[in-house]
Structure 1
Amino acid sequence: MLIPVKINKSIDIRDVEITNTNFKSLNLKEEQVEEFLLSNIEVIFQDETLLVVGKQVTNKENGRSDLTAVDENGNLVLIEIKRDVEDIKQRKEAFEFQAIRYAASYAKINTPDELVEKIFASYIEKYKDEFELGELTAYEKATRILNDFLEKNNADKTFNSKQRIILIASSFDSQTLSAVAWLIANNVDISCFELSPMKIGDNYFIDINRILPPPALEDFYVEVDDKKRPVYSEKRNTPITRSYLPRMDKLFEWGVIKAGDAVVIKNFDNSEATVIDTKTV
């Protein structure tokens, strides 16, 4: 709830009308919402870094996805957009099922080169005025941008290990939210964001909220300051028994493990893995 106020050594309520609206009432088309997302993706998804690599990508069954991105872990992210709940209800196929079909087709992209060839190069070619190509072809530019992004985020070895889905609308119906909640409970990486336009006085604002998945209680906990913990610079001759697992970056810092070491989960068969870095085995 927003309350317009005037502050001048006191707090007084201003006589300003707040009106909730939607994109359809503002005569905005889905393509315009899509362009807004494309231009402001770092503002809307402030908690993560996304590289947009495709727009209106068509699969072999003539399915057309809205936006395609790569996240900081190298996963392909499918972003599907509807203006509001009425647009969702008017679809013959459920909103979330449509996104699942598109995400399934992305599971076949195994390497960054495949992503460039099938999606990213054509996206840059179509919107080349927005990219400084110089003497590079669209394929070469796409390869450089994608490889730089993956290298910067240490995600080249985890490229497309899973696919994610983000659904966006100014409002959702209960059946869509119910289906998405069930998918989340069954380990599908899918989320719902509401982008709700509102008018305050003569100005327009967009309220951005992640509806699903809801934040966990642990997200609100404040961690203990680890700067005051003792630093273990030497390996001990006797094993350390712990009732919890330290973070991987701490194990690296303490010299307990390093890249190339083999690790196993105690009492779990066939759990051996090779350490790549602080994030990946």
Structure 2
Amino acid sequence: MYKISNLKAESIEPVTFFDLGMQESDIEELLRTNIEMIADEEKSMLIVGQQVRNVHYGRSDLTAIDNNGDIVLIEIKRDSKDIENRKESFEFQAIRYAASYATIKDPEDLVTKIYAPYIEKYRRDFDIGSLTSFELGSRKLSAFLQEHNAINSFNQKQRIILVASDFDEQTLSAVAWLNSNNVDISCIKLTPYKITEDIYLNVEKVLPLNDYDDYFVNFLEKSSPLSKPKNTNISKRALPKIDSMLEWGVVKAGDVIKAKDFTDEGVLLSNGNILINDTEQSMQKWLKGLYGWSSIQTYVFAIHKETGKSLSEIRHEYMEKMDADITN
């Protein structure tokens, strides 16, 4: 990261969470309340558990359900030293926890074992009223699954997200191999920077990538520095965002954006944010506040009022047209 002043660049070096006096529990709480930091805008997630104890007395950090009905296990380590000093590897620990979640047979089972205790622990975050924690959890989970047509696909798969400020080469190698063998596991890197008294976080998805070869460790040769993959083809992991849609002209600053299934609407700004009652905010923040989810598929639930189409539909139609033009 660089600070530019009078056309002169000054390097700003990252710090560690240890330097900042932050514990793993601090990072966990930060992500619990701001999971959109590591969530893809193409995914919706609902946090349903924290520090869930399994039958082997292990504790998983955060648990969520996503728009496919998959249970998502989020494991957090503060720094690479925390990973290296563990008796059990970071990724294997997460796999064991994920395996225990595979035994959850239906939404009611999830609410009973995980979501209701989570709601009870954080009652202040929920509008419980006269409902019990189980009743509210059942309603919220059912509404989430119904909205995403995921009731019939509930917990058919489990996903793993590993979060740390850095990853050792052994972990990256193992995760790359697991991905290439159809295990859905991701590595998200959080790099903190301190500028005066403010702390900034750079969030980077390290894995999965389109090409894993650069991350496999060759145990017969000396380890070499990690390099970026050569394959730069755009995939579903790199779908164009709102800034590209504005540049294409398929949406314009001043257009009205509605929330799907709500009467709430706002005005699209030139920077891709939305103006709601004279308050500027990101579409992600606006929509997740309306739905009460931890993160939301922004482009699916943001509706372009003039056309009646979702931003996802508009984007898809334009990309198909571009492909057709190139083919012809």
In 1, Cα distance between the equivalents of 2:172 and 2:75? 14
How far apart are residue 39 of structure 1 and its match? Answer: 1.0
Q: Structure 1, residues 147-172: CA drift from partner, whole Å, max 9, x if none?
A: 11111111111111100000000000
**Contact map agreement 2:189 2:203 (CA 8 A) in 1:** yes
Q: Structure 1, residues 88-115: CA drift from partner, whole Å, max 9, x if none?
A: 0111000000000000000011211110
Aligned to 1:132, what secondary structure does the other structure show?
coil
Aligned to 2:167, what secondary structure does the other structure show?
coil
How far apart are residue 4 of structure 1 and its match? Answer: 1.8
Aligned runs of 1:1-281 on 2, under 5 Å?
2-6=1-5, 12-13=7-8, 18-47=12-41, 48-215=43-210, 217-219=233-235, 225=318
How far apart are residue 226 of structure 1 and its match? Answer: 6.8
Aligned to 1:252: none
Aligned to 2:73, what secondary structure does the other structure show?
strand
RMSD (Å) for aligned C-alpha atoms: 2.1
C-alpha spacing 1:52/1:224, structure 2 compared with 1 (3 Å):
closer
Moved more, 54-63 or 211-220: 211-220
**Contact map agreement 2:37 2:203 (CA 8 A) in 1:** no
In 2, Cα distance between the equivalents of 1:199 and 1:13? 20
Whichever residue aligns with residue 67 of structure 2, its letter is E
**Contact map agreement 1:18 1:201 (CA 8 A) in 2:** no
TM (norm. structure 2) is: 0.64
Aligned to 1:110, what secondary structure does the other structure show?
coil
Give the total of aligned pairs: 223
In 2, Cα distance between the equivalents of 1:67 and 1:75? 14
- Structure 2 gap segments, 5+ residues each: 211-231, 241-315, 323-328
Moved more, 208-217 or 24-33: 208-217
Aligned to 2:20, what secondary structure does the other structure show?
coil
C-alpha spacing 1:123/1:221, structure 2 compared with 1 (3 Å):
closer
**Contact map agreement 2:116 2:134 (CA 8 A) in 1:** yes
In 2, Cα distance between the equivalents of 1:112 and 1:129? 23
The ranges of structure 1 where at least 4 consecutive aligned residues each deviate by more than 6 angstroms after the TM superposition are 221-224, 226-229
How far apart are residue 44 of structure 1 and its match? Answer: 2.8
**Contact map agreement 2:67 2:145 (CA 8 A) in 1:** yes
C-alpha spacing 1:227/1:189, structure 2 compared with 1 (3 Å):
closer
- Structure 1 gap segments, 5+ residues each: 230-281
In 2, Cα distance between the equivalents of 1:217 and 1:18? 31
Q: Structure 1, residues 183-234: CA drift from partner, whole Å, max 9, x if none?
A: 00110000000011012344321000000002562326887737869xxxxx
Q: Structure 1, residues 76-132: CA drift from partner, whole Å, max 9, x if none?
A: 000000001000011100000000000000001121111001110111111111111
In 1, Cα distance between the equivalents of 2:200 and 2:116? 34
